Chain A
Amino acid sequence: MKKMMTLLLIAGLALTAFKPATEGYKVGDTAADFKLKNVDGKTISLANYTSAKGYIVVFTCNHCPYAQAYEKRIMELDKMYAGKGYPVIAISPNDPVALPEDSYPNMQKRAAERKYTFPYLLDETQDISHTYGVKATPHVFVLQKTASGNVVQYIGAIDDDTENANPNHTNYVQNAVNALLAGNKPAITSTKAIGCSIKWKKGA
C-alpha cells in the first residue's frame, strides 16, 4: 500500500512538473530537464551543471536573421553569466528536413566558426521544444535552480532592440538574471518579439 502511495505521489509530481506539450511553460512552472545531443557529439542535460544556480536556455538556430542578429548578444550573455552560475544552453528546435541550413552538420560548423562557448543542442524529436512551448527563434527561458526543480522565471526576448540601434534599450534577460542573482524576482517576466516561426516536422 505504501508502495502504491509512493507511486501515485510520483505520478502526481510528474504530472505537475511536466505540463502538456501544446501549452508550453508559463513563468512559475517547473521546466523539464532533457538529454540532447551537443555539436561535439556528447549528450547534455541541465543536471550536468552541478554548480549552476540556473540557466539561460535559448532556442535559436542557424538560418533565422533575427537569431543571427542576436547571436553576438547570446555569446555575450554566456561570457557574462556562465561564471556567475547562469550558463547559456542553446537549443535548435527546427526540423532540418524543412530547413537544411539548420542541420546538425551545419550547427557544428556555425558553433565552431563563431567559437560558441556554450553547448548548441539539437532537439531531434522536437519534444523539448514542444514541452517548453517555443514559438519563434530566438526565444529565451531563464530557469532558476531550486530544491524543487528548475523554475521558469523569465520567458521572451533578449532585449527590446533587435537591430541594436537604440542605446537606451532594455536588456530583459540581463535584468532578469541580475535580479535572480541578487535574490529577487525579475521585474519583467515575459516579453514578445518578432521572430522566425519554428519549422515543426510534418505531421507532428
Chain B
Amino acid sequence: MNDKMLMRGSHVIGEAAVRAGCRFYAGYPITPQNELTEYMAGAMARLEDGTFIQAESELAAVNMVIGAAMAGARAMTSSSSPGVSLKQEGISYLAAQELPAVIVNTMRGGPGLGNIAPSQGDYFQATRGGGHGDYRTIVLAPASGQELADITRKAFDYADTYRTPVMILGDGMIGQMMEPVVFPEPLDLKKLPPKPWILDGAKGRPSRIIRSLLLDVSVEEDQNWKLVRKYEQITREIPAAEKYLTDDARLVVVAYGTAARIAKGAIKRMRDIGLKVGLLRPITLWPFPNRILVEMSRWVRHFLVYEMSTGQMVEDVRLGLEGRSQVHFYGRPGGVVSTPEELSKVINTLYHRQNLQEE
C-alpha cells in the first residue's frame, strides 16, 4: 500500500504512527486534534495487539503512556495546548525515567482556553521543558502532509534511540489540511532493536526498577549530567532545517510549521519582484539548528523571524546567532493566521528600510 493518498494531517500522523509500530495510544478529546484520537481508535481496534484508551484526562493519558513505555510498547498520546499543559507532569517523568514516547501537540490559540484556531504559542512550553526539572524534549515541527508521515516515523525512532519523549508540534492548520502523502512501509515490530531495560516480569533475570526519585543529591546530579550528555549527543546528531532560496539571499525569513508555509508564499512573491529573500525552516525546534543559522550568517545580515505568536522562537534565533546578524520579528498571536500578502508587505518594507536592494 505505497500509493499516494489524499489525507488530513491528523490522520497522516495516526497512520504513520501505526506503521512506525505504535501499539498503544491514550488520549482525551480536545479540538483541533480529535481527528487523530478518533483515527487511533479505529486503527488500534483493527490491530490484534493494539490498545486504544480514551482516558479520563490528559494527565491519565500521559501516565498510561508511561506504563505502556515501561512495558516496552511504542506508545503515543496527543492533545492540543491546554491538554498538553496537563501532560507536562508526565513528560517530565518520561524524561527523568528515560522512557520513549511520542506526544503530539496540535497547537491552538491561547493562553487559557483561548480558541481553536492554529497558533504557535506553545513554542516556549515545548522547547523549554514545560514540566519541572532539568530536561529537554526533542521537538519536531512538520509543515506538510508528507513531512508529517516521515517525521512521525522519525519521532518513534528518536524516542527509542535516545530513550526520551519526543514531541511533534503542529497546529490546527497542519492537522486539518488535506494533502497527498506516500507512507513508508509498515515496520516489522520483530525487527525493532530490543529494549533490555523494560519491565515485563523478572523471569530468569534480576528484577528491574524504573524510577526518577534519587534522594542522594550526588546521585541526582550524576543522573542530570548523564542526561546532559545524552542531550549533547542529540544536539550533534539530529538538528534539521529546510533552506529555500537562501544561497543568494540578503534577507532570510525564519519560520516553522504553518508560518513557514505562509512565508514561502510571501517569499515567492518577493522573488517575482526581484527581492533576494529566502526561507530557513527549522524542522527540529529542539535541538535548534544553530549551526545552519550561523553558517548562513556569513552572507545573510538580516533575519526576519515570523511566528504565529508574540515572539518565542525569535529568542532561539538571537541565541543561535549571538549577534552575528540582525534579527527582526513579525508575529501575530491568538490564532490569527497572516496572509502571504500581509507578510509580503512586512518583508518588502524591511528590505527597503535596510537598503538591501541591488545598488
Bound together = no
**Chain B contact residues, CB within 8 Å of chain A:** none
